[in-house]
Structure formats: C-alpha cells, structure tokens
Structure 1
Amino acid sequence: MFTKRVTVKEKKTIAVIDIGTNSFHLLIVRIDEKGAYHLLRRERKFVKLALDGIHKISKKQFDKGVATLASFRTIVEQYEPDDVLAFGTAAIREAENGREFIDKVKQELNLSIYCIDGDTEATMIYYGVRNAVNLTHKPVLIVDIGGGSVEFVIGDEGQIYWQTSLPIGASLLKDRYHHHDPMPKREIDQLRNDLRRELATVKKQVDLYEPDQLIGVAGSFETVADIISANNTDFHYSHDQVAHHLPVDKFLDLHKRLTASTLDERLAIKGMHPERADMIVVASILTHLIIEDYGIREMSLSRYGLKEGVLYSVVNQIPIAAAEL
C-alpha cells in the first residue's frame, strides 16, 4: 500500500496512466491551491493486451503496449509533472508475463507501474464517478465493463455499500461466446445463462440495496452514448460533459440492432468507435441483462472512472493498495 502526498498550498501537475486490458489512458492535470484539478491533456490508445488471451500477453501486444507507454512518456515530459502514476489492471494481474511487462517498462522508460487488485480498482472507480455524477442518498449501481474484468459498486453520495470485481470483461466474453456474426440465439442464451451464474452475488446485493439507477463508466457506455447521439435528433451527448443521462428505451433499441448485426454492419453505424465494434455486442448483452434482471429504470454515463478516482485519492491522501504479482 502506498500514499502519494500532495501539498495543495502550491500548484502541482500530476499525470495518471491507466493500463487497461483493451485501452491505455493518459490524464494530465494541474491541481490548484484548493485541491481542485484542471485538465491539461487526455489521451487514449487501443492496445488490446489480451488480444490473444488474458493469461499471456503476446509479443506483438507486449511490444505495442511498451511503445504506447513510450509515446505517453513523451507527451508527459512536455508538461514536466511533479508525479507520474501508472496503474495496471486485469491484463497485468492475470498475465503470466505481467511482471515481465512491468519490469520492461521500468527498464526502458523509467516508469513504475503499480498493479492494483479488483477491489482497489472498484474503489477508485467509485471515487471517480462520485466526482462526475450528482449522487444522492439513494444507492446506485455503478458498472465498469473493462476488457478483462467488470467492476460492480453499490454506493451513494457518501459511501460504498458493496463492491466486487469479476473476470467477465468484454474481451474474455467475446473470445468465449461470440463465435459467429451475427451472434446466434444459442450463443446469446448461453452467455446470458452463464452470466446469471457469475452474477449471483451481484444480484443478491442488488436485491438487498435496491438501486434502480445504473451508472455505466466510460468504455462501451460512452460508445452507446455516441451512437444514440449520432442517430437521434432528440438526444445530444458531448465529450465535454463528464456525465450524462442515457435513455433506457433508446439503449434497448440499440441493443436489438447490435445483437442482430455483423461486424461490417456495426462498423457502419454512425457514432460507432471502430476499436469497440468487435466487443460491444457482448458488453451490450451484459448491460441488457443487468437492466432486465435488476429492475433498472434509469441509466447514466460517467466519463470519470479509475483515473479520476486515483486523482481524488492523491489529493485527499487516501492510500491506494497495490497488488502482489
């Protein structure tokens, strides 16, 4: 466990790097005297570390990951930050050569990667969401569908009631279930049945705390917002907004379209990000199941997640637990 201390009497620049299974993210901010942070730079690169499986990073993706972090390092140096914090998540945790990747990055780029476990990841995501969405005393269900894992948090404006991280990320689900395009009913039914078993503990906690609002964190949820916005004149979403309401009925319509489409048809959808077109079907099936089985009546997007949660922890001197590899 470590704690980065920030003295907010003076301005400070911090860079946070989120090394995800599907994409790498860079966030550079300036923290002012009041502890508020101001965006200087935001970058995202799709790397897909688990392209050939979650248990070992292939040489091609390994090299692509190192090269991406090298490009981030070049950008970071332009801002002369006081701290650079890099965090590895599911792909680094699960890969047998995750330690090798960390060592290679340290050797070549002099960049230390802190690998965090699923519970810590969920906590950071909650802090990020809380800084984007106006939460109330009523519990909400926060879901972050990553490439290697999915984090679930039930919380309100003041606290986390329950959280977990499950190894059912979109990259894994795609490899296990999405073998034909369009995805046939038997594959969809098998995925839904298996997900219900995997999510038994989540369902139990949802029944206990009764959240009726789903807050989806970035990733596929942001792609959903982009598609709905691009195809509906009565709904507009801008990337300048850190949070936005997502109409459940429009998501359900989009879900039908996605599950009936081929990859080429998905790529042709206005608002679709090409790098998410292969995994968005299984992500949509998971989201649809959550809405259907958990009695979700409202749905929102939070662009803030892990990175912003890390910043919140740094500013407020909250320890962040690093996982052992």
Structure 2
Amino acid sequence: MIRIKKYAAIDIGSNAVRLLISDIIENEENDKVKFKKSALVRVPIRLGEDTFGIGEISEKNVTRLTDAMNAFQLLMSVHGVEKYKACATSAMRDASNGKYVIDRILKKTGIKIDIIDGEIEAQIIATTDLGELLDNSKSYLYVDVGGGSTEMTIYKKGNVINSKSFKVGTVRMLNQKDALADIWDEMKEWVKHNTKGLKNISLIGSGGNINKIYKMSGRTDGSPLSFIYMKANYKYLKAMTYEERISELNLNQDRADVIIPATKIYVSAMKWSDAKKIYVPKIGLSDGIVKSLYAGVIE
C-alpha cells in the first residue's frame, strides 16, 4: 500500500523565485520513498539586480515578490500542500532591508521566509539525490551557481572533503564585475588548493543555467559534457548578442544575459581543477528543501 504526501519548497534566489510542489510517495511494503515533481513555477523577479546595484530591495520588487508569494500560497492550497518551507539566499541576505522585506511578506501573505547563509544552502542541496550519483572510487567538485553566490563542495570516495560559498554569482557579476576580482582569485586558489592531487576529478554542476546548457546540448540524461564542449559553448554564446540569444536560442530574457557569466564559472572551475567532464543532474535547492523537510532536518 502507498501513501502520498504533498510538500513544497520556495526558493527566493537572486535571479528568480521558484515554487516546487512535490509528491512524496511512501511504500509501506518495502519502506521505499519516492519524490516526484508535481509542479514547478518560476518567476524572474531578479532581486539581485537591486541588492548588487543599490544595496536594497526596491519597493517595486518588494511588491512583485509579495504578489508572487500570494500566488504561491494559492497554488499550494489548490494542490493540497501539507508542509512547505521558504528560503531566501544571497540577494536577500545581502540586502540592507532584507529583514523588513520578509517581515512585510509574512504580514501580507502569511508565508514565513528564512534567510539562509551559503553554508546552510550547501548543506540543504547535499540532501538531494547527489549521493546516489557519486562513484565512491572517484573525486568530484560540486558547483552550484546562483545569481548571487556559488557554492562549491569537494567529494572524495563519497565523503565531503571541503566546501565553501563564494560571493560570485551571475547577477552579481553583471552588476559588480570590477569589484569581484579579489573574490574570483580567492575562488580560483581555493579550487586549485583543494583539488590538488585528486586524479580524474569530474565536476557536478547545478543551477538553472547549466541545466539549460545541458538541454541545448541534446545529450541523453546521465551523459556528461566535456571540457572542450563547455569551452566551445562559452565562446559560441559570447559571440552572440543578447537579442540573438533570445531569438535564435529561444532563451528567456532573464536567462539570455546570465548564461554567459554562469558558463564562465563552470568552465573556470573545470580548468582550475583539471576536470575533463561535468555531470548535470537535475537537482537544486528546491529539491533539497523538500527532502530536508521530509527528513526533519529543517522545519
């Protein structure tokens, strides 16, 4: 006999805001649990453009975010969601009025938002199916690129060796390019130092941009992208104008610009770690929130 629960995750990122509704299917006969995506809604509010530009979330985007939360509340009600968690990442935690924004949204919508740091973000993502994808005889550099930050974790023989969050993200790179040189160098040295001596290391990439790159590649699920392909793809994307990426590649407006800095981060991480392949499982913070909720790791 099976039992189905509905949980939801709200991921308030620097580039977009997402609602993931998942069916959690429990099989009482064999104690197996399956997580199945029921609905996914993405709204391109781009809070990071405010935070990394003027230091705070603008009134316009506070209103848009509040409207999105009201809409998400209705959708969760219609779907019969019994438990949910809302997490805000880099843009909200760096905004001078972040606390005011979440207090206002709680009052207007009833949705409580937790602002999480990069370390907690990485821990939540680690609760996804990532462990099932790792070959315990190999080493991996996991790279999650968001709009405001990049989370990196190194795995060796199935164990976490080190992890770190860097204030380098796609929207931040578009708005604060000249101010990120020192952090970029820090990220480079961290990767080189922590991957030194690890043979045949591969990258595992997560985030909306690498998922889009993978989809455009036409690869079958599970097969990796090569370093040569990623370098060529970066050069190809850079040669196109913003308008061409929208018209010829059918990218959304909020994807057509950030895909360039995102690709740069992945290609650079591969170069620094001497990784020849990058695997792209479809996992992210939203998936981790749902699984962490179910496991009782977060409330």
Q: Could you state the TM-score of these two structures normalised by the residue count of structure 2?
A: 0.87
Task: Please say which of residues 133-142 and 299-308 is displaced more in the overlay.
Answer: 133-142
Moved over 4 A (4+): 190-194, 208-211
Separation of aligned partners in 2, 1:132 and 1:78: 33
Q: State the 1:131 CA deviation.
A: 5.9
Q: State the 1:151 CA deviation.
A: 0.5
Q: State the 1:209 CA deviation.
A: 4.5
Q: Deviations over 1:135-190 (max 9, x none)?
A: 4342211111111111001125743221111111111111133xxxxxxxxx8xx9
Aligned to 2:14: 21
CA contact (8 A) 1:128 1:307 kept: no
Q: State the 1:121 CA deviation.
A: 0.4
Q: State the 1:272 CA deviation.
A: 2.9
CA contact (8 A) 2:135 2:157 kept: yes
Does 1:309 pair with 2:288? yes
Does 1:228 pair with 2:217? yes
Separation of aligned partners in 2, 1:153 and 1:264: 35
CA contact (8 A) 2:168 2:183 kept: no
Aligned to 2:238: 259
Q: What is the letter of the counterpart of residue 308 of structure 1?
A: D
* Relative contact order higher in (CA < 8 Å, ≥ 6 apart): 1
CA contact (8 A) 2:188 2:272 kept: no
Does 1:214 pair with 2:221? no
- Which residues of 2 match residues 2-81 of structure 1 at below 5 A? 11-33=4-26, 34-54=32-52, 55-81=55-81
Q: Deviations over 1:176-205 (max 9, x none)?
A: 33xxxxxxxxx8xx9788623443223211
- Which residues of 2 match residues 72-151 of structure 1 at below 5 A? 72-130=72-130, 133-151=133-151
Q: What is the letter of the counterpart of residue 75 of structure 1?
A: L
Separation of aligned partners in 1, 2:58 and 2:203: 35
CA contact (8 A) 2:168 2:180 kept: no
CA contact (8 A) 1:228 1:250 kept: no
Task: Please say which of residues 299-308 and 199-208 is displaced more in the overlay.
Answer: 199-208
SS at match of 1:16: strand
Change in Cα spacing, 1:35 to 1:291, as seen in structure 2 (3 Å) is: same
Q: Deviations over 1:97-119 (max 9, x none)?
A: 11111111111111111121110
Q: Deviations over 1:29-81 (max 9, x none)?
A: 22233433232212111110122333311112221111112211111110222
Q: State the 1:249 CA deviation.
A: 2.6
Change in Cα spacing, 1:194 to 1:123, as seen in structure 2 (3 Å) is: closer
Separation of aligned partners in 1, 2:158 and 2:268: 28
SS at match of 2:143: strand
Q: What is the letter of the counterpart of residue 147 of structure 1?
A: G
Q: Which has the higher helix share?
A: 2
Q: What is the letter of the counterpart of residue 200 of structure 1?
A: E
SS at match of 2:47: coil
User: Alignment identity in percent?
Assistant: 25
SS at match of 2:18: strand
Count, aligned residues: 291
Q: What is the letter of the counterpart of residue 207 of structure 2?
A: A
Separation of aligned partners in 1, 2:153 and 2:172: 21
Separation of aligned partners in 2, 1:21 and 1:164: 18
Q: Deviations over 1:259-278 (max 9, x none)?
A: 23321222233253332111
Q: State the 1:225 CA deviation.
A: 1.5
RMSD between aligned residues: 2.5
Segments of 5+ residues of structure 1 without an aligned counterpart are 1-8, 178-186, 230-234, 321-325
Aligned to 1:293: 272
SS at match of 1:199: helix
Aligned to 1:269: 248
Q: Could you state the TM-score of these two structures normalised by the residue count of structure 1?
A: 0.81
CA contact (8 A) 2:51 2:94 kept: no
Change in Cα spacing, 1:39 to 1:194, as seen in structure 2 (3 Å) is: closer
Separation of aligned partners in 1, 2:121 and 2:104: 23
SS at match of 2:176: helix
Change in Cα spacing, 1:20 to 1:303, as seen in structure 2 (3 Å) is: same
